[in-house]
Amino acid sequence: MAVAVGQPLLAQVEEKLAYDTKELVLNGGCQVPEMELVVAAAAAIGFDAPEINSFGNSFRDYEAESERKKIVEEFYRQNHVNQTVDFVKMMREEYVKMDKAEMSIWECCELLNTVVDESDPDLDEPQIEHLLQTAEAIRMDFPSHDWLHLTALIHDLGKVLVHHRFGGLPQWAVVGDTFPVGCAFDESIIHHRFFRENPDCNNPAYNTQCGIYSEGCGLENVLISWGHDDYMYLVAKENGTTLPPAALFIIRFHSFYALHNAGAYMHLLNEEDKENMKWLKIFNKYDLYSKSRVRVDVERVKPYYLSLINKYFPPKLRW
Establish whether 260 is an annotated binding residue.
Answer: no
Burial status of residue 47 (CB atoms within 10 A of its CB: 0-12, 13-18, 19 or more): middle
**What percent of the chain stands above pLDDT 90?**
66
Q: What Rg value do the Cα atoms of the chain yield, rounded? A: 19
228-238 vs 245-253: helix crossing angle, rounded to 10: 150
Select the more confidently predicted residue: 104 or 117: 104
Establish whether 48 is an annotated binding residue.
Answer: no
How far, CA to CA in Å, does 177 sit from each of 72, 140, 165, 180, 316?
11, 27, 24, 11, 29
pTM, rounded to two decimals? 0.80
Domain assignments of the chain as residue spans, ordered by start = 1-48, 68-318
Establish whether 240 is an annotated binding residue.
Answer: no
pLDDT band at 126 (very low <50, low <70, confident <90, very high): low
Q: Which of 259, 190, 191 is nearest to 222 (CA)?
A: 259
Establish whether 254 is an annotated binding residue.
Answer: yes
Q: Distance between CA 243 and CA 28 in Å, rounded?
A: 9
Select the more confidently predicted residue: 63 or 205: 205
Establish whether 216 is an annotated binding residue.
Answer: no
Which pLDDT score, from 0 to 100, does residue 115 have? Answer: 74
Establish whether 119 is an annotated binding residue.
Answer: yes
Establish whether 230 is an annotated binding residue.
Answer: no
Residue 239 has pLDDT above 60, yes or no: yes
Establish whether 177 is an annotated binding residue.
Answer: yes
Establish whether 155 is an annotated binding residue.
Answer: yes
Establish whether 159 is an annotated binding residue.
Answer: yes
Residue 190 has pLDDT above 80, yes or no: yes
* pLDDT, tens only, 259-290: 999 999 999 999 999 999 999 999 998 987 65
Which pLDDT score, from 0 to 100, does residue 39 have? Answer: 40
Establish whether 100 is an annotated binding residue.
Answer: no
Establish whether 117 is an annotated binding residue.
Answer: yes
